[in-house]
Amino acid sequence: MKQNLFVYNTLTRKKEEFKPLNAPHVGMYVCGPTVYSDVHMGNCRTYISFDLIFRYLQHLGYKVRYVRNVTDAGHLEGDADEGEDKITKKAKLEKLEPMEVVQQYTVGFREVMKTFNTLPPSIEPTATGHIIEQIEMVKGILDKGLAYEVDGSVYFDVEKYNNSQDYGVLSGRNLEDMLNNTRTLGGQDEKHGKLDFALWIKAKPEHLMKWPSPWSVGFPGWHLECSAMSHKYLGDQFDIHGGGLDLVPTHHTNEIAQNMACCGKNPARYWVHTNMLTVNGQKMSKSLGNSFLPHELFSGNNHILSKGYSPMMVRFFMLQAHYRSTLDFGNEAMEASEKGFKRLMNALSLLDGLKTNSSTEVEIQPLIDRCYEAMNDDFNSPVLIAELFEASRIINSVHDNKLKIDSKNLELLKNMMHTFVFDVLGLKDEQTENDDLPKIMDFIVDLRNEAKVNKDYATSDKIRNGLQQIGFQLKDGKEGTTWSKA
């Protein structure tokens, strides 16, 4: 392990040395998307930030079990216990089965995540796949006397819980404060207290997704799935729990209360929160109507943008801000970032052709140490990128014969650039990728031609159909076979 990693913990409001419960194993849970619409760039920022954290922990040698759920039931419109289920509403609107909505947006989410080169989590559990675990958790909380049933619905008793525990431990707010600043919402008359929240909700007849339980045919409260699934896959207590900062006051506060009530432990030792992507200083959100979809950004097809940006460029733009700072989305900032990204990729392309000298005028080890220092300081990617720009300057100077480097230092430099740019920041050189594609496609077309000459039509059809399935069209003409991407 390279030096010691420090992580900002929302729970203690300070940076703390990262000491996993069970090194080299690390358990990390991140709240996933509610799959009722396309993920916007704000959501993407949060998942790219946790991808950076996942990658760096793995780079340090930790064996990370990264659990990121998919919310496919239970998340109501108002983010509280009122309104319709977001997925059901969409399903009715589009005359689809709720599970068709779920499938469409889960697949879309995974595609977007892949485009941004984020690594898949170790487990992606769904709320609907864990109804039994959630019911068991409700029973556990009822057994402890910290929840009550009213007409088929079950609510968490916040004030009673707060008698022995600190309900506001994560947000740093006290109960009085919260009680005074919470408005009473409609549909809450069943609740004993203003802050109480639903663990199980009795379904109205028109509700589409519902399950039998000891209390009613209904569905779980939104906060419950994360408590139940993190507990199932990571145990009573694990290392990191993450999500966007907007989840602190309610969703994560309630998750802690549920796990404490049921299992006696705060589920995570380090609570890590990403800050918001903003547009003109305002949080990007679907309900405010200021959200950008990834494909609008790639194509430039949005009134705020003057042109499109490539996925890796967007990832780089995101990583140029620290995950705990807000990041404002705009043309100028994107353009400045694009220049930097090109500079970095250009330096990388020069690396292999650099000539070495018997002596060196530059030492790379201190630069490598500074890269680790940056990442060990709460995953400080902007400082890391500044060090990588310094490395790019060195590469350009050696390339222009203005600086001498020996083979040992060049080896260190190559290693450092590959490690931090590709493995840790998770960037890809889109240029070389595109350069390689025609060569690969020509090779496949040759293979197919060979099969046809040998009258092995089964193979030649398999190649054509297989390519078609992943979006490539082959066309046989007089001049031979040509290919195109749909």
Binding site for ligand AMP (CB under 6 A): 31, 33-34, 42-43, 45-46, 243-244, 246-247, 274, 276-277, 283-285
Q: Which CB, 31 or 135, lies closer to Zn ion?
A: 31
Please list, residue by residue across 248-279, b when 16 or more beta carbons sit within 10 angstroms of its beta carbon and e when fewer do.
bebbbbbbbbbbbbbbeebbbbbbbbbbbbbb
Tell me the residue number closest to ligand AMP, measured at CB.
244
What's the CA dihedral at 120, 121, 123, 126 to 10 degrees? Answer: -80
Where does 400-429 have alpha helices with state H? 407-417
Q: Restricting to residues 24-53, which ones interact with Zn ion according to CB under 5 A?
A: 31
Q: What is the DSSP letter of 129?
A: G
Q: Restricting to residues 397-436, which ones interact with Zn ion according to CB under 5 A?
A: none
Pairing of strands 14-17, 25-30: unpaired
User: How crowded is residue 37: how many other Cβ atoms within 10 Å of its Cβ?
Assistant: 17
* 391 sits near Zn ion (criterion: CB under 5 A): no
Q: Residue 251, annotated ligand binder?
A: yes
* 226 sits near Zn ion (criterion: CB under 5 A): yes
Q: Residue 399, annotated ligand binder?
A: no
Could you tell me the smallest distance in angstroms from the CB atom of residue 229 to Zn ion?
9
CB proximity list for 171: less than 8 A, separation 6 or greater: 248, 249, 253
- Among 156, 173, 190, smallest CA distance to 261 is for 156
Where does 73-116 have alpha helices with state H? 86-94, 98-115
Part of the chain binding Zn ion (CB under 5 A), chosen from 77-85, 226-234, 313-321, 459-467: 226-234
* 127 sits near Zn ion (criterion: CB under 5 A): no
Could you tell me the smallest distance in angstroms from the CB atom of residue 432 to ligand AMP?
31
Q: Residue 226, annotated ligand binder?
A: yes
d(CA 141, CA 103): 32
Could you tell me the smallest distance in angstroms from the CB atom of residue 412 to ligand AMP?
36
Could you tell me the smallest distance in angstroms from the CB atom of residue 232 to Zn ion?
14
Q: Which CB, 29 or 148, lies closer to Zn ion?
A: 29
CB proximity list for 406: less than 8 A, separation 6 or greater: 356, 357, 358, 359, 360
What's the CA dihedral at 355, 361, 363, 364 to 10 degrees? Answer: -30
Q: Residue 255, annotated ligand binder?
A: yes
Could you tell me the smallest distance in angstroms from the CB atom of residue 130 to ligand AMP?
17
d(CA 228, CA 139): 12
The entry of ligand AMP, Zn ion, none near residue 226 (CB within 5 to 8 angstroms by kind) is Zn ion
Could you tell me the smallest distance in angstroms from the CB atom of residue 34 to Zn ion?
10
* 261 sits near Zn ion (criterion: CB under 5 A): no
List residues forming the annotated binding site for Zn(2+): 31, 226, 251, 255
List residues forming the annotated binding site for ATP: 286
* Chain residues in the site for Zn ion (CB under 5 A): 31, 226
List residues forming the annotated binding site: 31, 226, 251, 255, 286
